[in-house]
Amino acid sequence: MSTNKYIATPKRTKEILTKYKFFFKKSLGQNFIIDANILENIINHTGINKDSGVIEIGPGIGALTEQLGRHAKNVLAFEIDQRLIPILEDSLDQYDNIRFIHQDILQADVKTSIKDNFNDDQDVHIVANLPYYITTPILTKLLQENLPVESITVMIQKEVAERMAAKPSTKSYGSLTIAIQYYTTAEVVMHVPKRVFMPQPNVDSAVLKLTIREKPPVYVADENYFFSMVQACFSQRRKTLRNNLTNYLSSEYDKETISTMLDNIGINGMRRGESLTMEEFATLANSFYQAKHN
């Protein structure tokens, strides 16, 4: 099939939108990709092959789905917009290895869907062009559910991708960075200009590849406590660790006690959250957690 026949061209996209009288819903953050070369490039970064299973989130009119169907063994696509299901089934009817589910991914039992649709020995990947407004809740859900997947490759807002893949002591580094990198290794693999979307979004995008870790890179005594302490350390970025923790733990400790506790684990309370590595955050959280439970 020549690239001119693919869904991901301006001409084909317009034809499909006209045929079905489809209009974009701003509330769903719908932006369809109209460049097949971009999609081919994304798929080259995912690590999928002819034996892979793929979960896609938000297939839209099927531009990325079509390419996934060509490269993977089978594809399961979750679409929240009921209007798109008949369009997808019609436009991609020649692909018998693609299945659509009309469901909000945030409500879906993804683990059971994987079990029901893929073989036990199959490598499974998640690939998606995610709506900007709901990127973080979706990724948080997928990572916390401990799914049997090898990677998650998503096209998201460039700024958010850079935050998720950031290094310590940079402007982009924050609590979101720690949350993502606790579960995965994160890498921005390509940038995507806004002109390859219809309609054009206001910002540029990036493709973020998250490779699932077999286990987190640090030991934490309690994950919820660890993440809440990380968030507290970034709650006001310009403030020192000591000040942020004093605000957060005001019902438990005074500023002097917090300074002493930080000194005892070798972390200077005058530092800011963005300067701490994940290992230092783990040390900090574990120390305060143990003090709380002694």
Domain boundary among 170, 188, 212: 212
13: CATH? 3.40.50.150
In this structure, the answer to whether residues 99 and 192 fall within a common structural domain is yes
Q: Which residues, at least 6 apart from 158, have a Cβ–Cβ distance to it below 8 Å?
A: 191, 192, 203, 204, 205, 206
Query: In angstroms, rounded to a whole number, what is the distance separating the alpha carbons of residues 70 and 50?
Result: 8
Q: Pick from 212, 241, 256: which residue ends a domain?
A: 212
Residue 4: the pLDDT is 56
- Is 249 within a domain? yes
State yes or no: 80 annotated in a binding site: no
Per-residue pLDDT of the chain (294 residues; tens, 9 = 90+): 445 589 999 999 999 989 988 877 666 667 889 999 999 999 999 999 999 999 999 999 999 999 999 999 999 999 998 999 999 999 999 999 999 999 999 999 999 999 999 999 999 999 999 988 889 999 999 999 999 999 999 999 999 999 999 999 999 999 999 999 999 999 999 999 999 998 888 889 999 999 999 999 999 999 999 999 999 999 999 999 999 999 999 999 999 999 999 999 999 999 999 999 999 999 999 999 999 887
Same domain? For 196 and 234 the reply is no
Indicate if the alpha-carbon torsion angle 27, 29, 33, 34 is positive or negative: positive
Query: Is 129 annotated as belonging to a binding site?
Result: yes
**Residue 36 covered by a domain:** yes
- Say yes or no: 40 and 134 in one domain: yes
31 is in an annotated binding site: yes
Structure tokens belonging to residue 64: 């990325």
Same domain assignment for residues 282 and 163: no
pLDDT value for 64: 96
Same domain, 197 and 245: no
Answer yes or no: do 207 and 274 share one domain.
no
pLDDT at residue 2 in the model: 47
Range of the domain at 227: 223-293
175-213 residues labelled b (16+ CB within 10 A) or e (exposed): bbbbbbbbbbebebbbebeeebbbeeeeeebbbbbbebe
**Residues linked to residue 128 through DSSP beta bridges, in sequence order:** 57, 154
pLDDT at residue number 74: 98
CA 153, 158, 159, 163 dihedral sign is positive
User: Token match 């530092």: residue?
Assistant: 271
Asked if 174 and 163 touch (Cβ cutoff 8 Å), the reply is: yes
Selection from 203, 226, 233 nearest residue 287 by Cα: 226
- Please indicate, yes or no, if residue 12 is contained in any of the structural domains: yes
Does the pTM of the predicted model rise above 0.75?
A: yes
Q: Which residues pair with 211 in a beta bridge?
A: 151, 185
294 has binding-site annotation: no
* Amino acid present at 109: D
Q: Which of 160, 187, 212 is the last residue of a domain?
A: 212
Sequence length of the chain is 294
| Annotated binding residue 49 | no
Q: Are residues 76 and 172 in the same domain?
A: yes
Does 248 map to a domain? yes
Q: How many domains does the chain have?
A: 2
State yes or no: 79 annotated in a binding site: yes
Distance CA 32, CA 59 (A): 9
